[in-house]
């Protein structure tokens, strides 16, 4: 391997992957365990971030508090490192490759014991403020193309540390799933002069069977085409392509509904491991993607992809999304 980490493009599909051998060095509290067990506070690397050698980027406090509540820090074992120059695309025989340049940061709330759904509204909103502040910094960097924001909760979802935390990875290419989503929504827009996500929201509201919960500014529903049992999507009701442009007064509706949806999943589905992530229009070629509609996807780790799924890309979902919504709504 030429660099610390590399993005490599599949010659046939055009999709990108990252090769990052150094990620193997990170500590793993769940090593050898397939069940999520609560790690004690003593020895938790996120209790004193400076002491455990994390480079701190920003600190957020609650209005009536003098100590930190949320911090943004650099990942100590990043798959990508930014450096001073933009990533350079090179070739190796027929293959294309980009040096692994970008950012891999973490947003860490102080609370070791409470996951996102259990935090008070102020803390939950501070996490999203941290996301947006850091996102805006990435968006001003012309070397970068996309920022992925997500939470891994539990070992089945890929978490290596118990203490609830969130990640932000900024990369120099637009990832395959986002590309598919962008081209699909662009196609729909060209044909119907409307946002495909707004059309889905409108139909789901009219139909009602897959809605889990809605509030003034956001809606959560089980998607008609659900890739996993109990998959959930949360959309801001106002059409907006870009996460970085969401107004603070509108964020609270999405944040509140994310807490509510995760809380319902915890209670109704016996607290499964899960991933949630944000899908938004990329930071590169910004003006091109106003037809997109940013949103959050929640995927509980309930089923395992097997040969058919891996071989075809067709997921077999064993719970009807109508039934999933009914259970989560009740
Ligand atoms: Zn902790
Ligand atoms: Zn829309």
Q: What is the pLDDT of residues 132-163, one digit of tens each?
A: 999 999 999 999 999 999 999 999 999 999 99
Question: Separation of 102 CA from ligand 1 center, angstroms?
Answer: 27
Residue 112: nearest ligand to its CA? 1
- Centre of ligand 1 from the C-alpha of residue 41, in Å: 5
Contact indicator for 58, 134 with CB cutoff of 8 Å: yes
pLDDT score at 195:
97
- Contacts with 207 (C-beta within 8 Å, 6 or more apart), sequence order: none
Q: Residue 322 C-alpha to ligand 1 middle, in angstroms?
A: 37
Predicted structure pTM score: 0.95
pLDDT tier at 287, thresholds 50, 70, 90: confident
Ligand 1: centre distance to CA 290 (Å): 39
User: Which residues are CB-neighbours of 90 under 8 A, at least 6 positions away?
Assistant: 2, 96, 97, 98, 99
Ligand number with the minimum distance to the CA of 281: 2
Question: Helix or strand or coil: residue 284?
Answer: coil
Q: Confidence band (pLDDT; 50, 70, 90) for 299?
A: very high
208 Cβ partners below 8 Å, 6+ apart? Answer: none
State the pLDDT confidence band at 77, using cuts at 50, 70 and 90.
Answer: confident
pLDDT (mean) for 168-183? 93
Q: What is the mean pLDDT of the chain?
A: 93
Ligand nearest to the CA of 46: 1
Res 109: pLDDT: 98
Mean pLDDT of 178-194: 95
pLDDT above 90 (res 42): yes
Note the pLDDT of residue 46: 96
* Ligand closest to CA 38: 1
Mean pLDDT to the nearest integer, 281-294:
92
Q: Is a pLDDT exceeding 80 seen at residue 180?
A: yes
Q: How far is the CA of 303 from the centre of ligand 2 (A)?
A: 30
Instruction: Return all residues near 257 (Cβ < 8 A) that are at least 6 apart.
Output: 213, 214, 215, 218, 219, 220, 234
pLDDT at 307: 81
Distance 112 CA to ligand 1 centre (A): 4
Domains plus CATH for the chain? Answer: 6-173 (3.30.428.10), 177-329 (3.30.428.10)
User: To the nearest whole percent, how much of the chain has pLDDT over 70?
Assistant: 100
Cα of 38 from ligand 1 centre, angstroms:
10
Closest CA to 146 of 243, 5, 251: 243
Question: 163 CA to middle of ligand 1, Å?
Answer: 5
Cα(183) to ligand 2 centroid in Å equals 15
pLDDT digits (tens, 9 = 90+) for 215-256: 999 999 999 999 999 999 999 999 999 999 999 999 999 999
């Amino acid at each position: 391997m030429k660099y610390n980490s590399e993005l490599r493009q599949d010659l046939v599909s055009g999709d990108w992957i990252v090769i990052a051998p150094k990620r193997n060095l990170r500590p793993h509290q769940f090593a050898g365990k397939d069940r999520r067990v609560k790690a004690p506070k003593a020895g938790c690397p996120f209790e004193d971030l400076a002491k455990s050698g994390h480079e701190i980027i920003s600190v957020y406090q609650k209005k009536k508090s003098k100590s930190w509540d949320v911090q943004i820090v650099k990942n100590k074992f990043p798959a990508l490192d930014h450096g001073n120059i933009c990533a350079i695309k090179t070739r190796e025989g027929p293959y294309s490759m980009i040096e692994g340049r970008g950012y891999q940061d973490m947003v860490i709330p102080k609370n070791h014991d409470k996951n996102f759904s259990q935090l008070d509204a102020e803390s939950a909103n501070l996490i999203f403020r941290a996301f947006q502040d850091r996102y805006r910094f990435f968006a001003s960097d012309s070397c970068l193309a996309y920022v992925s924001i997500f939470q891994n909760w539990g070992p089945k979802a890929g978490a290596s540390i118990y203490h609830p935390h969130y990640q932000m990875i900024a990369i120099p290419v637009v990832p395959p799933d986002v590309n598919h989503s962008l081209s699909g929504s662009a196609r729909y827009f060209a044909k119907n002069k409307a946002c495909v996500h707004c059309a889905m929201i409108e139909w789901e509201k009219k139909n009602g069977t897959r809605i889990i919960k809605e509030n003034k500014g956001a809606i959560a529903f089980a998607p008609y085409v659900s890739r996993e049992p109990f998959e959930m999507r949360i959309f801001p009701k106002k059409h907006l392509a870009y996460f970085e442009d969401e107004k603070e007064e509108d964020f609270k509706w999405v944040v509140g509904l994310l807490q509510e949806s995760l809380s319902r999943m915890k209670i109704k589905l016996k607290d499964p491991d899960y991933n949630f992530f944000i899908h938004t229009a990329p930071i590169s070629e910004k003006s091109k993607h106003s037809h997109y509609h940013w949103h959050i996807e929640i995927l509980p780790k309930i089923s395992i992809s097997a040969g058919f799924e891996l071989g075809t890309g067709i997921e077999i979902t064993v719970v009807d999304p109508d039934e999933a919504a009914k259970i989560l709504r009740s």
